[in-house]
A = this chain, B = another copy of it.
Amino acid sequence: MNKKISIVDIANLLNISKTTVSFILNGRAQEKRISEELVKKVLKLVKEVGYKPNSLAKSLRTGKSNIIGLMVEDISNPFFANIARLIEDRAYEKGYRIIYCSTDNDTEKTLDLITMFRDRHVDGYIMAPPKNIEEDVQELIKSGLPVVMFDRYLPNVDTDYVIVDNQFSTYNATRHLIEQGYSKIAYITFTSEQTQMLDRMTGYKNALKEAKLKPYIKEIDFNRNEELIKEPLSVYLKKNPGIDAILFGTDHIGTCGLKVINQLGLKVPQDLAIVSFDDYDVFELYSPSVTAIAQPVEAIADNIISLLLKKLDANNSNQTTQKITLSTTLNIRNSSKQFLKPIS
């Protein structure tokens, strides 16, 4: 079991000091007036023996890690999985590594994860924040650590964030349903006080108010067990047979909704029109294909990472925070079109 080679070994092999090796490896040879000859010798040896600096030791000393901590709500959710994937790619290109974790919107777990990230000296944070973590995020920022939020934000904390125009998105989607002639339009969502969910709710309400229609709102508590989402949803639909259209607040509840609709044997869009927030394969492939509000995941990931990199760039200090709001696309498909007799 050959012990790993360290900077001291390199220094000893060449009979020089490890200081010199360190300077050379960190590109400070010229500044420190190390002769070109020696530089070459060191670099050659380093390459030969495949020496890699121990980044733990490096981080301990410098406080930097080239690692970005990414906290999503749930990595098994397609929206977050996609964003995570794109961010990982972009960061990788720039020499950063990502470590990610799911928060489950659990404040305790999130604080624990922040602590872990923190003493692992991650250089920056990307997060879809749960509630009640304002203080800890403030603390991070005060310590000079860049934080970029996405999907939602904390209203009382002045950080950079990248979100979409949730309110307009649901307003627009609801308007679409109204224009198609639907009038008893329900909004089914998870119970949440996060900004994105509040905005989505507001968009829906505004559209209904404008059209003088009565809102039908059903909030369901999130649960990892899908049955506990489908059950109340099913009960609600059975109790309100008059509803002729549904707007779902997220992809996950939309997916559960489709399962319930199948179980109940309802026909889409004859019995019920459907629109969901977030777009993914299930909605495209369901028949009839489901109208969905598509978030620009690539643009979101790009913006997140470039905001963070800008903050990480030490030269660039006294920066102001940037709040970026991107627009969504309403992908209109068959599930929300007034039912027309097929040409036979």
> Which residues of A are interface residues toward B (Cβ below 8 A)?
1, 52-57, 59-60, 74-76, 78, 81-82, 84-85, 88, 92, 97-102, 109, 113, 115-116, 119-121, 142-144, 255, 258-259, 262, 281-282, 284-287
Q: Take A81-B75, A102-B85, A282-B285 as given contacts and tell me if A56 and B52 are in contact as well, using a CB distance cutoff of 8 Å.
A: no
B residues within 8 A CB of A120?
55-56
Give Cα distance in the complex from A281 to B256, angstroms: 9
B residues within 8 A CB of A116?
55, 97
B residues within 8 A CB of A109?
92
Q: Chain B's nearest CB lies how many Å from the CB of A2?
A: 9
Nearest chain-B residue to A58 (Cβ)?
A: B119
Judged by DSSP, the binding face of A is: helix
B residues within 8 A CB of A99?
99-100
Check B284–A259 contact: CB distance below 8 A.
yes
Nearest chain-B residue to A121 (Cβ)?
A: B56
Nearest chain-B residue to A66 (Cβ)?
A: B116
Give Cα distance in the complex from A119 to B56, angstroms: 7
Q: Chain B's nearest CB lies how many Å from the CB of A317?
A: 15
Chain multiplicity (copies): 2
B residues within 8 A CB of A1?
142-144
Give Cα distance in the complex from A113 to B74, angstroms: 23
B residues within 8 A CB of A285?
255, 258-259, 262, 282, 285-286
Nearest chain-B residue to A117 (Cβ)?
A: B97
Question: Which of A54, A75, A255 has most chain B Cβ within 10 Å?
Answer: A75
Nearest chain-B residue to A82 (Cβ)?
A: B76
Give Cα distance in the complex from A257 to B157, angstroms: 46
Q: Chain B's nearest CB lies how many Å from the CB of A100?
A: 6
B residues within 8 A CB of A255?
281, 285
Check B78–A85 contact: CB distance below 8 A.
no
Q: Chain B's nearest CB lies how many Å from the CB of A144?
A: 7
B residues within 8 A CB of A57?
60
Give Cα distance in the complex from A282 to B279, angstroms: 13
B residues within 8 A CB of A121?
56
Give Cα distance in the complex from A241 to B53, angstroms: 58
Check B284–A281 contact: CB distance below 8 A.
no
Nearest chain-B residue to A97 (Cβ)?
A: B116
Q: Take A57-B60, A60-B60, A285-B282 as given contacts and tell me if A115 and B52 are in contact as well, using a CB distance cutoff of 8 Å.
A: yes
Q: Chain B's nearest CB lies how many Å from the CB of A259?
A: 7
Q: Chain B's nearest CB lies how many Å from the CB of A210?
A: 33
Check A119–B85 contact: CB distance below 8 A.
no
Q: Which of B55, B74, B259, B282 contacts A119 (CB 8 A)?
A: B55
Nearest chain-B residue to A100 (Cβ)?
A: B100
B residues within 8 A CB of A54?
60, 119
Give Cα distance in the complex from A22 to B99, angstroms: 28
Check A88–B101 contact: CB distance below 8 A.
yes
